[in-house]
Amino acid sequence: MEEKLKKIQQDFLNKTKDTKTLAQLDELFIALFGKNGQLDELSKQFKDVPKDELKKVGPLFNQIKQQLEISINEKRGTIRKQIYQSLQNEKFEIPSERTGRKEKKGHLHPVTQFEEDIVKLFEKLGFVQTDAPQIDTDYNNFEVLNIPENHPARDLWDTFYIDTTNYKLQTNKLLLRTHTSNAQIRILKNNKPPIRVMTLGRCFRYENADARHEHTFEQFEIVYVDKDVSMTHLQYLSEYFFKSILGKGIQARLRPKYYPFVEPGVGVDASCAFCKGKGCKVCAGTGWLELAGAGMIHPGVLTRGGIDPDQYSGIAWGVGIERMTMLKYGIEDLRSLKSGDLKFLGRF
């Protein structure tokens, strides 16, 4: 037994001396002290050792165990010291030194820049910004906005529904919001008229991506509720927006359009900035571009938001941010905005 012990002692002292890395040292430590390691295995044999011999072997076992532990710890310290020294001697090069190129500063994405512009624009009119979740309930995204299940209007939004079968949730009807209008019920419930609130952010639809469509896109929307709010306000706000963003000469035109949560609903056109209304390729010869959707908030929606439609009226007005960014900067393909192409993004 004593011999076996001394053999382990010599063997592991040599091995410790030869190790070069912390990982090797860890392996050594486990082979020695770990469960079923060499010392563990040896101690299991103690029960067969005669009592007299055990009196001698016991203390020796402890002594050698301690010695080996200390030697491994010391070696660990030595290796660490070597690592620190080599790190101190290492010289870090920064890219501009290596390439000789001048340092390049980044900037906000054109869509973000544009969003900041719009927010400032409506802040001037007293609108405050709010937020709504990108994953929302079917109720907040559709039902509360007069779009019950199986309503044909649902076909207007190709929706990403979320499979919740494996989760214990209060509702199993979750989706990626198809529009920022999921903020409407929250805005109405959380505020008392006069309400001037704007919201913006990412929305999702199950669409094939092409030059004018993306499955992931940004929307901006305002909700304005007060006494005697009318279509006149809608016309004014549309013109205020277009003139501020696209230029003073731009006019706004309201055209009847169906959205279930407004009554009446309108498509909002801007006179074409490219041909000044004469008709060109961009506006398909019409002189107008449809840029926003809006309308008077439906009395049913107001009621669900806790607002008396006999006392108050409101407008909702929304625009696709990427579409406006394209128009403002003359970008031809919507997909380039999310391409991550620095050459393209560097232009803005």
Q: Which are the catalytic amino acids?
A: 157, 179, 205, 219, 262, 316
Cα distances (Å, whole numbers) of residue 49 to 2, 43, 46, 81: 11, 10, 5, 43
In the region spanning residues 213 to 272, those forming contacts with Zn ion, defined by CB under 5 A, are: 272
CB of 286 to Zn ion, least distance (A): 8
Reported for 325-328, long-range contacts at CB under 8 A and 24+ positions apart, including other chains, are 325/110, 325/111, 325/114, 327/246, 327/273, 327/289, 327/291, 328/114, 328/245, 328/246
List all residues 6 or more positions away from 307 whose beta carbon is below 8 Å from its beta carbon: 188, 193, 225, 314
Nearest C-alpha neighbor of 140 from the set 104, 98, 175, 190: 175
Tell me the number of residues near Zn ion by CB under 5 A: 6
CB of 328 to Zn ion, least distance (A): 15
Q: How far apart are CA 240 and CA 118, in angstroms?
A: 11
Nearer to Zn ion, 275 or 345 (CB): 275
SS3 220: strand
Nearer to Zn ion, 64 or 272 (CB): 272
Nearest C-alpha neighbor of 158 from the set 110, 115, 208: 208
CB of 347 to Zn ion, least distance (A): 23
CB of 268 to Zn ion, least distance (A): 16
Nearer to Zn ion, 1 or 282 (CB): 282
In the region spanning residues 22 to 61, those forming contacts with Zn ion, defined by CB under 5 A, are: none
Q: How far apart are CA 292 and CA 220, in angstroms?
A: 10
Nearer to Zn ion, 60 or 280 (CB): 280
CB of 289 to Zn ion, least distance (A): 7
Helix (H) or strand (E) holding 196, with range, is: strand 195-204
Nearer to Zn ion, 59 or 247 (CB): 247
In the region spanning residues 262 to 321, those forming contacts with Zn ion, defined by CB under 5 A, are: 272, 274-275, 280, 282-283
- Residue nearest to Zn ion as judged by C-beta position: 272
Q: How far apart are CA 297 and CA 342, in angstroms?
A: 42
The footprint of Zn ion (CB under 5 A) covers 272, 274-275, 280, 282-283
